[in-house]
Structure 1
Amino acid sequence: MNAVEIEAAVSDLAAEQFDAAEFPFQFLAAFDKKETTLKRLRKGDSNKSDVVGGVLLQSNIHLAVSPVGETRQTLERLKASPKTAAAKAKFVLATDGTVLEAEELSTGEAIASEYHRFAEHIGFFLPLAGISTVREIKDNPIDVRATGRLNKLYVELLRQNPEWGTEARRHDMNHFMARLIFCFFAEDTDIFESRSLFTGTVEGFSESDGSNTHHVIEACFAAMNLKQEKRNSDNTPGYAVTFPYVNGGLFAGSTNVPQFTRIARSYLLQAGSLDWQYINPDIFGSMIQAVADDEERGALGMHYTSVPNILKVLNPLFLDDLRAALEAAGDNSRTLLNLRRRLSRIRIFDPACGSGNFLVIAYKEMRRIEAEINARRGEHLRATEISKRNFRGIEIRDFAAEIARLALVIAEYQCDVLHRGPLAAKAEFLPLDEMNWIVRDNALRVDWLKACPPEDTEVRVREDRRLQFEASSSVEIDFENPGGETYICGNPPYLGGKKQSSEQKEEMKGIFGRNEQHKNLDYICGFIVKACEYLQYGTKAALVTTNSVAQGTHVPVLWPIVYRLGCQVEFAYESFKWANNAQGNAGVICTILGLTSKPVAAKYIYDESSRRQVANINPYLVDGANIIVESRSTNTNSLSPMITGNAPYDGGHLFLGPEEARRLLREEPGLKGKVRRATGTSEFINGSARYCLWFDDSDLPYAKSLPAVSSRIEAVLEYRRGGGEVASTLTARPHQFRYRNTCTFSQLLVPQTCSERREYLPAGLLSKDFIITHAAHAIYDPTLVDLAVLISRLHLVWAATICGKLKSDIRYSSNLGWNTFPLPTLTEQNKADLTRCAADILLAREAHFPATIADLYDPETMPANLRTAHDANDETLERIYIGRCFRNDTERLEKLFEMYAKAQGAASRAQGPAKKTRVSRKTAEVGK
């Protein structure tokens, strides 16, 4: 269940007759708890509550039905219960059927509500279903409730009017929904003359069976498209005459309305009964666009971005600068006036704007700054000079584009009410501005300069203004904006190279040209390049991107283009999780790139709580020269060679589980030495056992004489015959892995992935009897110096920066991480010291046998002697570099990049922001 479905279930529960015996289970069912869980709780098998009438769900909630008038006392008993703490309950809740009280134990946040109204607090309870909530939803769940009601209406209307769901009429349906949203908002904010003007008209003048509801709504819509003097009383029904003239493109064109059923009419009236004046346009838009999107409806109400996350982009991009200017201006009237004029000329452009979240937040924050300027100048009621038309967007989805414009309309009115008062807001709101500033098109195909012409340019409106709300991609929009600033912002779509559609691959080809390497780039890289092209004319850009753009193989392909276009990184965020609020959603690991083509006074790297000024931000988003680390097949240091482990291409038939291996050896003792322990990353870290068959060619007659083995070899042969190009080349030796690398004495296993939580790369030394699979890297017959370097903090920091990540976990690459690692020339004494350190680490591990690597390298439970051994290893290695320990990871990376640059002779060839030149805007030329 998603948030909207849960809200509906909770609302239904609150509306039903209270059943004291059933309430705890009904409540849990509303939050998507499984029936098997509820059955165990009912029987008492898993209910450990020690409070009368209580039900305790492990790691979730402790709730109880209280005697009448004793909800507060019961809540306190639940909080004080030892069982609550033992079960790690997140919430406690008590109700007597009249009052409901609850508390979130980790924060101390509490609610008290009349029982029949507790659904209004849905945002408070959503974590019970594993759904994280942003502050705005907790404080104001109207957005979830409104979305749920509109979704029900939408689905019911399409059931009754299936033709409205076709491609031919989808825009009409979406436009109808946008009109409804406006009417609901207008009647609750005094834009209309009376509260419930629209809802009350529909309820009072349409039949209860819904048969003429569409006619009533059509008349209302038609009236709002006509000025009062043009309304003919013979044609405009009396109930529609009182509606104001709105137009602005919103009610232009066809006023056809889908036919209603009794149920659809009921859903419309339910939606209208909510108080829409409290709608948050900055998050409501993202939720409501899912109503019309078949693919997104499954996660309805989840696709919104919190205001704090949006401000991570907007603050360093331009808002911090504006606020600093406001602070510096003080009460100087002339300086404040100049700042206000500057505000009026700023343009914000989101090339993948969705339903307008970034644009709305930017607008609201700029209005707040303008209001402070007006207050200091004694002009509190002054009309805004910040035009909605300065907030431009491109959006490929029809309904999202409509909602983005509507969200800005709502935001403008709410800002006027807040900063100028309701009377001034209402007096200047209608009729709506007919200008459209959201272009519906494919951002990677359309010319951004037409969607948002930058400073000192002018593009005239070329189409009938009445039709512009339809957001035709051929509309070119602008008004004169001499000397203004243009900022690009947003959160464009992420999509790995292998997941892109054929159309998207063509779009990427159009941007990167014939450079075949772009095929592995994430889709967002196309937006980054187009932003850099635009910045030849614009001011700055800040985009939320997947962190892959600053890691691994992305860097050598993308960043030379960024630099060739004259751009540099002005600010960046360290990787963080940008999660939507879907249940169980792990989120995407992102960063934020702040790009500019102009000289920069200061550069900053941000984390979740602070920022630090740096000399430069390189392609890996760390302080250092603009060096691009290229993949190498051989290493540049004195360390042993590392390769990927042995790939089997066997369909799994040469592998055995522990019991299979034991049984086979009992039956065929001659296979001793041929049944080998096999290990990749997961087996090594978790200590799990796996085995494989390992035959030399001379062993083949014997292997084929054993039915249990021969059948496996035959299965491998069949697999390879139909297993693709590589597998088909191995049919002559179905008894063997594709690769057969082994050691003489010992071998080092290097995991392919490493959890972000671990402080060291957990490589390990294995005997020659093990077979390292392709799910790990291997160094055959290594030195302990190799191990000391591999498991150092210094090497982990380099690998985490250079190799790339799988979500937030390090994805190790020998060609990028090991072969490029900068290492000073080691003396014999250095080697002896590092050898001793590595041996001490191995001995410390051995002292805790049979603890697994996962156990040993859990940062919260890492044994003290092992940590001490690692500290000694780090100190020994780092003294070789600078004569002391590094202060932090930043200093480590600075030194490593410095050494890499010298080793590559990069001091004279370092790629950096090129001298700014005017280049062709034909994106196909960028990658040539």
Structure 2
Amino acid sequence: MNAVEIEQAITDLADQPFDGENFPYAFLEAFGNKATTIQRLRSGVTNKSDFGGVLQTNNIHIAACENGQVSSTLKALKNSPATVRAKAKFILATDGADFEAEDLTSGETIACAFRGFPDHFGFFLPLAGITTVRQISENAFDIRATSRLNRLYVELLKDNPEWGKAERQHDMNHFMARLIFCFFAEDTDIFVGKGKFTETIARMSAKDSSNTHEVVGALFLAMNTRREDRAAAGIPRWAEGFPYVNGGLFSGNMAVPKFSKIARSYLLHVGGLDWTKINPDIFGSMIQAVADTEERGELGMHYTSVPNILKVLNPLFLDDLRARLEEAGDNSRTLLNLRKRMSKIRVFDPACGSGNFLVIAYKEMRAIEAEINKRRGEQDRSSEIPLTNFRGIELRDFPAEIARLALVITEYQCDVLYRGQKLALAEFLPLRDENWITYGNALRLDWLSLWPGTRTGVKFRADDLFRIPVDQAQIDFEHEGGETYICGNPPFKGARKQSPSQKADMEHVFGGGNAYKDCDYVTAWYLKASQYADVVPSDFAFVSTNSISRGEQVEHLWSRLYANGESIAFGHIQFKWYNNAQQNAGVWCVIIGVSRDRSKRRRLYDGDTVREVNTISPYLIAGNEDYIRASNSPISPFLPRLVSGNMARDGGNLILEEDEKDALLADFPNARQLLRPLIGTTEIRQGTRRWCIWVDDNQIDLAMSIPPISGRIEATRSFRELSKAKTTIGYAKIPYRFAQRCHQESSSIVVPKNTVEGVPYLTPDFVTSNTVTTDLAFVTFTEELWVLALLCSTLHRVWAEAISGGLGSGIRYSSLITYNAFPMQALTEQQKCNLTRSAKEVLLARERHFPANIADLYNLENMPDDLRAAHERNDEVVERIYVGRLFKNDTERLEKLFDFYTRMTAEAVPAKLKKQKAGANA
């Protein structure tokens, strides 16, 4: 369950008659405990309470008590030995009238009336495995409002199924946006009289709901009609007190869905909330899930937190504005110039969702402007920051509507905060009939037609500005001589997870070729922003998956951005991005800010620390503005070739588990010569082995004489013949062999293709000539153990983490980039001897702990001392080759490696050209 669903469940529980015996179980059920878990507690199997209550181990101790005994019961629960033994995190006591609880970890307590405990639902969210409690508690209203609106939305669609169809979806979304505005307006004096909208519906609509839609429709019509035209429009007297709002919000289709009695009740409940608490920073992102069936499963959970938004906006331009404010002091002229500068700043979010980034940018700029006005003694002055300078594109209809509404609400809230309610109200209505959020595909639209760099005048006004054309700019910017900043959090879609239409978008932006096929969807926004900056000077910054700063994507993206003159102005190295979903694992992200202004200070952020550097490499380290190029052979020519292992393409028929191998040999001992141990990434990590059928051409007759093997061979033939891939069909002619074979009769070093997050070293293994490597690992056929020493060093792990493709924060190793591009000087025989010795020490340390596997041995918390010591000695041998000592830290390691790589590749280019010239003259 997510936070919205939990809030609704405990609200329903609080509304029911109190049943002390069943309350603890109902409470736990509301937080997502399964029926089987509840049953085990009821039966006493898992209930550890010594107080006649319910005690769930590692969770909570609950007791219902007699009237007036809540405080003493809570104290008894806290002192209970069972509470301590079960390591309960919470205690809770209630008598159905009062309610008290304590978080035993933090010491925080709550005490309230029983009916009011849902107001504190965020306090208990750790019971559901949701750890981002503080954010939820701070935004409890937004979650509650989202829950109520969702129930209303679903109920309306039950009674009006045609409104859920594609052709009416916009009407439904627009209707919900109107309701949200009215709920906000009636609680903030925009409509004179608190609760006026809801009270009017309650008073004028029949309790059987038969005319509710007509009452709502009449109110909407009033808000769409100027006072001088109301008599002609037939506005009823009871609707006369509502102001003219329009601004596109109440124009267009005036139809209202019909209400059932339940839907009417939900409508009144939503209106009964205190909408002064709405937080447009996140509300829009939460409420957009109401209209999105796919997102409703995580209702209200998908929003970008304000601190994360500021990680983009602060270094992009807000920090500079604040610095200029600080420098200005009380100098009236300097403050005036700063205010004028801010009035011309444009902020674009081309993947704006419901407007979070734009809302936060606007709020932060208004705060700076308010301080300027205060220092100049002009606190009552109207804002000079136009709301229409905060623009966005959104692919989906409803979020685009909510984005504009969120900005309108934010503007009003800022006016109230900085100028007072009276002045805010005087200038708020009617809403302007302008629209500045575009509904469409950002990767297909011409941004210049929407956001021209020079004054063009208002091009478009319409009756229904929530149905937005996408082929022209609709309203001019207040921008002459201003700055442009592009920002946002575009969709995260890996290269293999993109839909056909998204692939087509990528091809369109990349201009064809094949590079886009290996790139994350977000890279297209970088290219579009850079193309826009060719005409309108712009800085831009996006939240992105960490994959765009690793592996082959770096070359695909930055070869294009560098060609356009772009440079990284700031970067947040990878960090885990969580939302509020239950037990959400988060996704590893980076933030990259780009500018063509090379006079700007370059800043690298790592959590709460920031470092100024001369230049930032696309791998988000201090270093040259260059990228690692894929190579078919090692740039250090003395390194042996590393290739992908053998690919079976057999439907699993040529591969045997250990027990299958044993059963085969028990019946057919002569099959042993046709079997070989098989190793890949999983086998290295888990210390397991599989086996494969390995038949040479001169062994075909023997293989076919053993029924279990011949049967597997024939099954392989059938599998390949039925394949849709032509190459696989071709391999049906040799069904007794792996489709692609690279095996050599030599000892080899096997390198895992994937290394999981948190492993301190890469873990290559040394295997005998009889062992076959799968295509899930890389292999180099060499007996030179000094190669293994290099590969399992901290230096190589740091290199691999920086430039390999990513698996979260893990490593997707690449032979073409990670290995072939690894810079290493030629080694002396003594250095090879030293490395070989340290490699043997590592392998022997592993062997001493048999049967512990790699996963066990390389667990950071439990790594054996002798294995750790062996690696540390190996690190010293490796790093002395580079700088004659151990490196101070990973930053120094990377900077040295990138510098070495740059020098090696620079030296290689002239040599290559010289060779080509010699060949041409021959």
Bin for the TM-score computed over the shorter chain: over 0.9
Q: State the Cα distance separating 1:85 from its structure 2 match.
A: 6.1
Counterpart among 508, 511, 516 of residue 509 in structure 2: 511
Aligned pairs for 1:435-450 (under 5 A) are 435-450=434-449
Q: State the Cα distance separating 1:404 from its structure 2 match.
A: 0.3
CA distance in structure 2 between the aligned counterparts of 1:743 and 1:908, rounded to whole angstroms: 33
Unaligned ranges ≥5, structure 1: 910-928
Q: State the Cα distance separating 1:65 from its structure 2 match.
A: 3.2
The 10-residue stretch of structure 1 (714-723 or 120-129) with the greater mean CA deviation from structure 2: 120-129
Counterpart among 462, 467, 491 of residue 464 in structure 2: 467
Matched to 1:760, the amino acid is Y
Deviations 1:459-501 (A, max 9, x none): 2222335433433224512134222111111001122333333
Q: Within the alignment, does 1:11 sit opposite 2:11 as a pair?
A: yes
Matched to 2:404, the amino acid is R
Deviations 1:361-394 (A, max 9, x none): 1111111112222222233332222221111111
Matched to 1:559, the amino acid is W
Instruction: Call closer, same or farther: CA 1:140–1:498 in 2, change over 3 Å.
Output: closer
The 10-residue stretch of structure 1 (258-267 or 427-436) with the greater mean CA deviation from structure 2: 427-436
Q: State the Cα distance separating 1:797 from its structure 2 match.
A: 1.0
Counterpart among 467, 478, 482 of residue 480 in structure 2: 482
SS in 2 for 1:374: helix
CA distance in structure 2 between the aligned counterparts of 1:655 and 1:902, rounded to whole angstroms: 46
Kept after mapping to 2: 8 A contact 1:134/1:306: no
CA distance in structure 2 between the aligned counterparts of 1:121 and 1:150, rounded to whole angstroms: 20
Instruction: Quote the residue 2:919 is aligned against.
Output: none
Instruction: Quote the residue 1:530 is aligned against.
Output: 528
Counterpart among 491, 495, 498 of residue 496 in structure 2: 498
Kept after mapping to 2: 8 A contact 1:14/1:116: yes
SS in 2 for 1:611: strand
Kept after mapping to 1: 8 A contact 2:123/2:133: no
SS in 1 for 2:172: helix
Kept after mapping to 2: 8 A contact 1:353/1:395: yes
Matched to 2:280, the amino acid is P
Matched to 2:527, the amino acid is V
CA distance in structure 1 between the aligned counterparts of 2:522 and 2:907, rounded to whole angstroms: 29
Deviations 1:416-452 (A, max 9, x none): 2222222222222211122211111211111212322
SS in 2 for 1:890: helix
Instruction: Quote the residue 1:633 is aligned against.
Output: 632
CA distance in structure 2 between the aligned counterparts of 1:418 and 1:728, rounded to whole angstroms: 71
Kept after mapping to 2: 8 A contact 1:539/1:598: no
Instruction: Call closer, same or farther: CA 1:622–1:272 in 2, change over 3 Å.
Output: same
Aligned pairs for 1:178-193 (under 5 A) are 178-193=177-192
The 10-residue stretch of structure 1 (581-590 or 828-837) with the greater mean CA deviation from structure 2: 581-590
Matched to 1:514, the amino acid is G
CA distance in structure 1 between the aligned counterparts of 2:255 and 2:123, rounded to whole angstroms: 40
Instruction: Quote the residue 2:27 is aligned against.
Output: 27
SS in 1 for 2:238: helix
Deviations 1:134-171 (A, max 9, x none): 64421231111111111111122222222222222221
Instruction: Quote the residue 2:914 is aligned against.
Output: none
Give the superposed CA RMSD: 2.1
CA distance in structure 1 between the aligned counterparts of 2:746 and 2:74, rounded to whole angstroms: 66
Instruction: Quote the residue 1:732 is aligned against.
Output: 733
SS in 2 for 1:118: helix
Q: State the Cα distance separating 1:262 from its structure 2 match.
A: 1.1
SS in 2 for 1:563: helix
Kept after mapping to 1: 8 A contact 2:433/2:461: no
SS in 2 for 1:47: coil
Instruction: Quote the residue 2:564 is aligned against.
Output: 565
The 10-residue stretch of structure 1 (511-520 or 893-902) with the greater mean CA deviation from structure 2: 511-520
Instruction: Quote the residue 1:286 is aligned against.
Output: 285
Aligned pairs for 1:483-882 (under 5 A) are 483-536=481-534, 537-637=536-636, 638-723=638-723, 724-742=725-743, 744=745, 746-882=747-883
Deviations 1:777-799 (A, max 9, x none): 11223311111100001101111
CA distance in structure 1 between the aligned counterparts of 2:369 and 2:310, rounded to whole angstroms: 18
Matched to 1:851, the amino acid is A
Q: State the Cα distance separating 1:827 from its structure 2 match.
A: 1.0
Instruction: Call closer, same or farther: CA 1:519–1:739 in 2, change over 3 Å.
Output: closer
Kept after mapping to 1: 8 A contact 2:53/2:61: no
Percent identity, aligned pairs only, is 54
TM-score, structure 1 normalization: 0.94
The 10-residue stretch of structure 1 (328-337 or 190-199) with the greater mean CA deviation from structure 2: 328-337
The 10-residue stretch of structure 1 (764-773 or 719-728) with the greater mean CA deviation from structure 2: 764-773
Matched to 2:480, the amino acid is P
Matched to 2:737, the amino acid is Q
CA distance in structure 2 between the aligned counterparts of 1:76 and 1:660, rounded to whole angstroms: 61
CA distance in structure 2 between the aligned counterparts of 1:202 and 1:275, rounded to whole angstroms: 17
CA distance in structure 1 between the aligned counterparts of 2:569 and 2:277, rounded to whole angstroms: 37
SS in 1 for 2:635: coil
Instruction: Quote the residue 1:914 is aligned against.
Output: none
Instruction: Call closer, same or farther: CA 1:788–1:190 in 2, change over 3 Å.
Output: same
CA distance in structure 2 between the aligned counterparts of 1:50 and 1:487, rounded to whole angstroms: 62
SS in 1 for 2:906: coil
Instruction: Quote the residue 1:324 is aligned against.
Output: 323
Q: State the Cα distance separating 1:175 from its structure 2 match.
A: 1.0
Kept after mapping to 2: 8 A contact 1:218/1:255: yes
Q: State the Cα distance separating 1:218 from its structure 2 match.
A: 1.0
Instruction: Call closer, same or farther: CA 1:152–1:850 in 2, change over 3 Å.
Output: same
CA distance in structure 2 between the aligned counterparts of 1:396 and 1:865, rounded to whole angstroms: 56
Deviations 1:238-265 (A, max 9, x none): 2100111111111122322111111111
Q: State the Cα distance separating 1:83 from its structure 2 match.
A: 5.6
Aligned pairs for 1:39-54 (under 5 A) are 39-54=39-54
Instruction: Call closer, same or farther: CA 1:793–1:85 in 2, change over 3 Å.
Output: farther
CA distance in structure 2 between the aligned counterparts of 1:12 and 1:357, rounded to whole angstroms: 31
CA distance in structure 2 between the aligned counterparts of 1:793 and 1:338, rounded to whole angstroms: 52
Q: State the Cα distance separating 1:308 from its structure 2 match.
A: 0.7
CA distance in structure 1 between the aligned counterparts of 2:379 and 2:685, rounded to whole angstroms: 65
Q: Within the alignment, does 1:159 sit opposite 2:166 as a pair?
A: no
Q: State the Cα distance separating 1:297 from its structure 2 match.
A: 2.0
CA distance in structure 1 between the aligned counterparts of 2:85 and 2:719, rounded to whole angstroms: 52
State the 4+ residue runs in structure 1 displaced beyond 6 angstroms.
906-909
Kept after mapping to 2: 8 A contact 1:287/1:301: yes
Kept after mapping to 2: 8 A contact 1:627/1:897: no
SS in 2 for 1:598: coil
SS in 2 for 1:730: helix
Instruction: Quote the residue 1:900 is aligned against.
Output: 901
Q: State the Cα distance separating 1:51 from its structure 2 match.
A: 4.5
Kept after mapping to 2: 8 A contact 1:393/1:451: no
CA distance in structure 1 between the aligned counterparts of 2:520 and 2:258, rounded to whole angstroms: 44
Instruction: Call closer, same or farther: CA 1:895–1:655 in 2, change over 3 Å.
Output: same
Instruction: Call closer, same or farther: CA 1:87–1:775 in 2, change over 3 Å.
Output: farther
SS in 2 for 1:830: helix
Q: State the Cα distance separating 1:585 from its structure 2 match.
A: 3.2
Instruction: Quote the residue 1:921 is aligned against.
Output: none
Instruction: Call closer, same or farther: CA 1:845–1:418 in 2, change over 3 Å.
Output: same
CA distance in structure 2 between the aligned counterparts of 1:491 and 1:185, rounded to whole angstroms: 27
Aligned pairs for 1:125-274 (under 5 A) are 125-133=124-132, 135-232=134-231, 235-274=234-273
Q: State the Cα distance separating 1:30 from its structure 2 match.
A: 1.2
SS in 1 for 2:676: strand
Matched to 1:674, the amino acid is L
Instruction: Call closer, same or farther: CA 1:739–1:473 in 2, change over 3 Å.
Output: closer
Instruction: Call closer, same or farther: CA 1:20–1:576 in 2, change over 3 Å.
Output: same
Kept after mapping to 1: 8 A contact 2:344/2:478: no
Figure out how many residues of one structure are paired with residues of the other and give that number: 906
Instruction: Call closer, same or farther: CA 1:698–1:80 in 2, change over 3 Å.
Output: farther
CA distance in structure 2 between the aligned counterparts of 1:234 and 1:327, rounded to whole angstroms: 55
Instruction: Quote the residue 2:917 is aligned against.
Output: none
